[in-house]
Amino acid sequence: IQFTPAKSLCRSTNPSSDYLTLTNPDPVLIFVIFFSFVGFSYCRQKSRFPRGFVGNSSMEELKISSRPSICFRPINPSDLERLEQIHRDIFPIRYESEFFQNVVNGGDILSWAAVDRSRPDGLSDELIGFVTAKIGPAKETEISDLIRYNSCKGEETLVYILTLGVVESYRKRGIAKLLIKEVIKYASSIPVCRGVYLHVIAHNSPAIRLYKRMSFRCVRRLHGFYIINGQHFDSFLFVYFINGSRSPCSPFDLVVFVLNYMRSGIKSVASRLTMKHEEKGLKWIKCKDITRCLLPTQTKRNLASERVSSGYDYV
Ligand code: ACO
């Protein structure tokens, strides 16, 4: 917008120029423009907060046919760019390219892509949602105490959901639910697999509602689990028990559960104190933006601290 001392708001008469020219500006008009600009800047500022986790996406609005035809397939190398873009748009933390390479090349990460076959050619195979997961020994996880073991069956495993996302225009259509179902179906097909679990940031209500609706159980609240831009955020740990595993319900199990709950409470108080102590010693770090990149070997938890180690590789 150019301001020039002429009469009214009009298009520039210069055909080669596409600028809107504001001439002899009316004070009311200036007032309106000024406050529109302030309002716009404010909205942009707000959207910088890690709201990706609660479902705000800067992604383009996709045109959806009245009858989308959603299909699921594994993620492959041609999805690389799109996968990176969606992660960038909906998560407040950055993932290393090594993580994406691992997903698209089917390394040790499992993945499911959602696509809408009713989209026009060229887009009918483009990702509109995804879930990535990893399988590992149950005994090495932080929920090993909640699993019922059966030594004759071999080493028990658990599936950990790393990332789940659906582009904004396709939300509230049950796509995430179907993606999670795919993971549960896969996990249930492995006789030694005892469950599916995940972490979710405590203020992510849409995701929390989804997991609860799908019968995941919230087994723990982890204080200060995430550090995003220098701020601490709690997370919930959700588990879906399968193949004869279950959450505790016998009297003995309940006692073990209560003891573990108390232990994790004490740990989290201790870790909070440690955190405060560390913060005191490291105040100077706060002047830097410490949004970090994640390696596949780093965990959401590692973002928060390295205090508890499980031997699992989370992102
Ligand atoms: N018509 C109307 N509403 C519907 C329909 C339908 N056909 N199908 C489902 N819904 C409703 C559900 O009831 C649910 O409502 P509720 O939130 O009021 O309970 C809502 O739509 C969402 O359910 P889904 O459609 O299954 O989920 P969606 O595809 O919208 O994806 C997700 C949910 C993944 C949380 C999405 O919001 C997202 O991508 N958010 C940003 C990234 C994110 O937060 N990811 C999870 C982080 S945790 C992790 O990665 C381990």
User: For 147-168, what is each residue's pLDDT tens digit?
Assistant: 877 766 678 999 999 999 999 9
Determine the pLDDT at residue 67.
83
Distance CA 81, CA 97 (A): 10
pLDDT score of 126 more than 90: yes
Rounded average pLDDT over 128-146: 94
Q: Does the CB atom of residue 115 touch ligand 1 within 6 A?
A: no
Tell whether the model's pLDDT for residue 301 goes beyond 50.
no
User: What pLDDT shows up at residue 231?
Assistant: 93
Q: How far apart are CA 96 and CA 83, in angstroms?
A: 12
- Work out the percent of the chain whose per-residue pLDDT is above 90: 48
Q: How far is the CA of 170 from the centre of ligand 1 (A)?
A: 9
- Predicted model pTM: 0.69
Max Cα-Cα span within the chain: 88
Which atom from ligand 1 is nearest to the alpha carbon of 57? Answer: 41
Closest CA to 157 of 127, 186, 130, 131: 186
Report how far apart, in Å, the C-alpha atoms of 265 and of each of 133, 178, 221 are.
Answer: 28, 34, 9
Q: How far is the CA of 46 from the centre of ligand 1 (A)?
A: 22
User: What's the 172 CA to ligand 1 centre distance in angstroms?
Assistant: 5
Residue 174 near ligand 1, beta carbon < 6 Å: yes
User: Which amino acid residue places its CA nearest to atom 50 of ligand 1?
Assistant: 163
